[in-house]
């Protein structure tokens, strides 16, 4: 049996992937990479092989990847310096003769600096290139935007304010539930035929914030409006409200990406791979707002 190591195992996606892997294989064939064990007490009790490592510390990765056949490489969460961290992971995997790397990348159409989300996709493009050049088997999972980000994007107090305020115009995204992505990942990790393939991991329907406002209104019984200001007005309003610049940049970048159609990409890959439909935005928002 192949030994699989899941990085980012203390995070949301990593934890879900491990939960699904445990339904498919013995714990002794699962290893995890964590920076420290504080957030994974539950995993230690499962009998999983816990290895300590940090994407910024090359030697720690070489030690942690020893005797690993498949690496589920979850992209790092820092925008600063992420590219070099990923280079360390790819090089360490190659040095330790990992056979197959499955990498969580991100969707895009525009790969140039002109993309409003180049601050996210640049590192992914670099990492994909290094994986392809490494000679290792690789599978690239191009994730669409997490559906789980919607409450952050529409605002925690949307039911009180009755307003979704984002410069996304009529743009759409095929928001995809992180839990669905985790189940897909566990399937790919435990089945054959995914070597040197790229998959757009995305839902089968795309939604605008007009659609989201209507759905939340129907669920909550409250009237929720959507207003799309210009980016300049959006930046000014949020800055005056004391929102940190990094959040404003994130909200504006993903909104513009929706206008430019970067995330309006649907398919039925989830159903094809795990035999059930992707969770819909309606189902998810019902859980959150009813």
Ligand X SMILES: NC(=O)c1ccc[n+]([C@@H]2O[C@H](COP(=O)([O-])OP(=O)(O)OC[C@H]3O[C@@H](n4cnc5c(N)ncnc54)[C@H](OP(=O)(O)O)[C@@H]3O)[C@@H](O)[C@H]2O)c1
Residues that bind ligand X (CB under 6 A): 7-8, 10-14, 35, 39, 54-56, 74-78, 85, 104, 106, 143, 145-146, 149, 178
Shorter beta-carbon distance to ligand X: residue 86 or 138: 86
Least separation in angstroms between residue 53's CB and ligand X is 6
Shorter beta-carbon distance to ligand X: residue 79 or 210: 79
Least separation in angstroms between residue 267's CB and ligand X is 16
Residue with tokens 């498919």, as numbered in its chain: 24
Least separation in angstroms between residue 28's CB and ligand X is 22
**Which residue number is nearest to ligand X in terms of Cβ?**
11
Least separation in angstroms between residue 118's CB and ligand X is 15
Least separation in angstroms between residue 177's CB and ligand X is 11
Shorter beta-carbon distance to ligand X: residue 119 or 146: 146
Cα–Cα distance measured from residue 123 to residue 128, given in angstroms and rounded to the nearest whole number: 9
Shorter beta-carbon distance to ligand X: residue 76 or 167: 76
Shorter beta-carbon distance to ligand X: residue 62 or 163: 62
Phi, psi of 50 (to 5 degrees): -95, 125
């Amino acid at each position: 049996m192949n030994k699989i190591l899941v990085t980012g195992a203390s995070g949301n996606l990593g934890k879900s992937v491990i939960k699904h892997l445990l339904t498919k294989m013995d714990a002794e064939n699962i290893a995890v990479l964590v920076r420290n064990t504080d957030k994974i007490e539950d995993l230690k009790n499962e009998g999983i092989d816990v290895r300590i490592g940090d994407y910024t510390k090359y030697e720690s990765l070489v030690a942690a990847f020893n005797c690993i056949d498949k690496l589920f490489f979850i992209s790092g969460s820092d925008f600063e310096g992420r590219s070099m961290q990923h280079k360390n992971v790819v090089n360490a995997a190659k040095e330790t003769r990992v056979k197959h790397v499955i990498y969580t990348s991100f969707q895009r159409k525009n790969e140039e600096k002109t993309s409003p989300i180049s601050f996210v996709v640049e590192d992914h493009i670099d990492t994909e290139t290094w994986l392809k050049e490494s000679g290792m088997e690789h599978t690239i999972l191009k994730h669409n935007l997490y559906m789980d980000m919607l409450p952050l994007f529409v605002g925690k107090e949307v039911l009180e304010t009755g307003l979704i305020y984002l410069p996304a115009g009529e743009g759409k995204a095929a928001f995809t539930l992180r839990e669905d992505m985790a189940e897909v990942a566990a399937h790919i990790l435990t089945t054959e035929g995914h070597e040197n393939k790229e998959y757009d991991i995305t839902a089968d329907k795309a939604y605008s914030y007009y659609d989201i406002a209507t759905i939340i209104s129907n669920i909550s019984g409250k009237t929720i409006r959507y207003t799309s200001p210009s980016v300049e007005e959006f930046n000014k309003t949020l800055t005056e409200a004391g929102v940190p610049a990094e959040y404003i940049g994130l909200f504006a970048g993903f909104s513009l990406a929706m206008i430019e159609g970067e995330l309006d990409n649907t398919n039925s890959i989830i159903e094809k791979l795990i035999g059930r439909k992707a969770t819909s935005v309606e189902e998810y928002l019902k859980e959150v707002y009813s």
